[in-house]
Amino acid sequence: MAGAPPFPILVGALDAILLGMSYQVLARKWRPRTFAEMVGQRHVLQALSNGLANGRLHHAYLFSGTRGVGKTTVARILAKCLNCERDGVTDTPCGECAACTEIDEGRFVDLIEVDAASRTKVEDTRELLDNVQYAPSRGRFKIYLVDEVHMLSTHSFNALLKTLEEPPPHIKFLLATTDPQKLPVTVLSRCLQFNLKPLLPGLMTGQLQHIAEAEGIDAEPAALDLLARAADGSMRDALSLMDQALAFGSGQLRAEAVGEMLGTLSSGLLFDLLERLLDGDGHAMLAVIDQMAGTAPDFADALARLLDILHRLALYQMTPEVIDQSDPDAERLIALAGRLDSATVQLLYQIALHVRRDLPLAPDPRSGFEMGMMRMLAFWPEPAPSAETPSAAASSAGAPSPAVSPPSPSASGGGSPLPADAPETAAGPTQPAPPQPSAQPQDIDALDWHHLAATLPLSGMAQALADHCQWGGREGDRVTLHIDTAHQHLVNETVTGRLADALSRHFGTPFKVQVRVARVEGDTPADTAARAENERMAAAREAIEQDPNIAALQETFGAEVIEDSIRPRD
């Protein structure tokens, strides 16, 4: 065919090879070239910058930390700071002079990079140190950058020790390691040590967002958040995963595709699981777990993400302003926080922690995860409804069936059983009567707040708030309470709402609660309880002092009463 290339397949393959050769992976392309471009590690960068600015230069620096947090990157930037031709020794190298450019390209003759993992023998170290005495060829300093320095042998460390302690003035040692515990103490004591910390997911998500915008990548925030969390504190891993996700998603970053690539669960399934738990529907809860198992998830990771959701719930209940409204899970998180009290969140978090610890001991990860969720249902602090039976579900024909509460004390043998001739209806168990209000709304103006605070079904911070408040009065459907400044930290929207719900249920009519911070006159329920406890302790001490047996022991054996061990009788 006229005008057609003679070998079209070969030409296409060659084009693909050339395209692959021209592509630079994100981890290399976006490697920081100045301290200002680094993500996190402020505690290290500030110390180095101040030392360079003030001329306080050490002869040996040790950078430690897990993989991909920037150890070698910081060392190379420091090498540029020491050898910049235009600005001299500075904490802001120009990045344009020959020395800065050659260091960035890895061909600066006076920066000797050594991989200690491949040169562990003492002969290699001696050969390396033979040139220490010679002055640098181009730069201001000759720099030895030794990566994975903990891999050197004992004899290699011994050969390095004397030079490391008293090197010539033109020599700088930059050591990097992921395992500083393996370095001899004699080496550690001769270095300035900087520990680079794993990066927080929020920092990495922000950097990934910046890179995506600069590269023109269509990326969903939820997808970037998944990549940041999967990287486990390593920026290099996050960029490598981003490259992989771009290949998987044909140049786009979608949360669903990234989750499929990483094998992580959708957060929606975990929220579904918690909602079924709150409903007390064990059957539906197991159905959600079965749906999760269809994606072949890592159940240990599922537990970690469940713990993260519970942690965010606890934070929101304590300080609602911490939640990010742009978070795609914000709406469901707020809805869950309204249905759970803080004490229950803490209980679920603690159970999930134990389940995660015990998961390797389970016959298989799924059964261990299922047992953990059933444990949460079994140890629910209030009577939690259990799953309806299949027969009941079939008879209801799709209508919601009333939940069945756990057995009451009378059902287990305590109390009086029902009469033998108690009538049974064909429709099933008798519906429980709705709760009756324990007091009339008009009685609220003449109530005893101390008694009411003790009888309301409260727990945690809501109970503490009620105990430290004093009755202020009622105007319509608004109840006013007073609290002193010492306890104003107990006041927040979530806790006040729980107290309002308890009052509304108690009186059978809706109430709103307003807590004013003001000087409290008289005793609060907490003050009364503390005074009663002090009186009981005083009575207990007096009883001990007047006990003739105690007096006889003191007189005969010189016994002493340990004050802290005295407790009043319950």
Express each pLDDT in 511-524 by its tens digit.
889 998 888 878 88
Mean pLDDT lowest among 61-65, 142-146, 372-376, 555-559: 555-559
How many whole angstroms separate alpha carbon 41 and alpha carbon 37? Answer: 11
Whether the pLDDT of residue 436 is over 50: the answer is: no
pLDDT tier for residue 392 given thresholds of 50, 70 and 90: very low
Mean per-residue pLDDT for 354-378? 92
Whether the pLDDT of residue 367 is over 50: the answer is: yes
Provide the pairing of β-strand 469-475 with 478-483: antiparallel
Whether the pLDDT of residue 275 is over 70: the answer is: yes
pLDDT above 70: percentage of residues in the chain: 84
Which regions of the chain carry the CATH code 3.40.50.300? 26-195
Tokens standing for residue 396: 């209801």
Mean pLDDT lowest among 269-283, 471-485, 546-560: 546-560
C-beta separation of 69 from 32 below 8 A:
no
What 3-state DSSP class applies to 197? coil
Among residues 338, 336, 371, the alpha carbon closest in space to that of 352 is found at 371
Which regions of the chain carry the CATH code 1.20.272.10? 267-275+293-378
pLDDT tier for residue 235 given thresholds of 50, 70 and 90: very high
How many whole angstroms separate alpha carbon 52 and alpha carbon 78? Answer: 9
C-beta separation of 467 from 451 below 8 A:
no
What 3-state DSSP class applies to 474? strand
- Per-residue pLDDT, 326: 66
Whether the pLDDT of residue 468 is over 60: the answer is: yes
Whether the pLDDT of residue 408 is over 50: the answer is: no
pLDDT tier for residue 570 given thresholds of 50, 70 and 90: low
C-alpha dist (Å) from residue 42 to 45, 195, 211, 238, 385: 5, 11, 20, 20, 51
With DSSP H G I counted as helix, E B as strand and the rest as coil, what are the percentages for the chain, rounded to 5? 55, 10, 35
Q: Which residue has the higher pLDDT, 262 or 367?
A: 367
Mean per-residue pLDDT for 470-499? 87
> What is the fold of 26-195?
Rossmann fold (3.40.50)
pLDDT tier for residue 173 given thresholds of 50, 70 and 90: very high
How many whole angstroms separate alpha carbon 391 and alpha carbon 389? Answer: 5
User: CATH class for domain 267-275+293-378?
Assistant: mainly alpha
Whether the pLDDT of residue 441 is over 60: the answer is: no
> What is the fold of 201-262?
Helicase, Ruva Protein; domain 3 (1.10.8)
How many whole angstroms separate alpha carbon 173 and alpha carbon 132? Answer: 11
Which regions of the chain carry the CATH code 3.30.300.150? 441-522
Backbone dihedral region of 508: left (phi > 0), alpha (psi from -120 to 50 degrees) or beta? left
- The set of residues, in sequence order, having a beta carbon less than 8 Å from that of 521 and lying 6+ positions away, is 470
Q: How many CB atoms lie within 10 A of CB 299?
A: 23
- Per-residue pLDDT, 443: 55
- Per-residue pLDDT, 325: 67
CA angle 189/190/195 to nearest 5° reads 70
Among residues 524, 511, 509, 519, the alpha carbon closest in space to that of 469 is found at 524
How many whole angstroms separate alpha carbon 50 and alpha carbon 75? Answer: 16
Q: Which residue has the higher pLDDT, 43 or 563?
A: 43
What is the homologous superfamily of the domain 441-522 according to CATH? DNA polymerase III, tau subunit, domain V (3.30.300.150)
Provide the pairing of β-strand 60-64 with 192-195: parallel
How many whole angstroms separate alpha carbon 234 and alpha carbon 241? Answer: 11
pLDDT tier for residue 386 given thresholds of 50, 70 and 90: very low
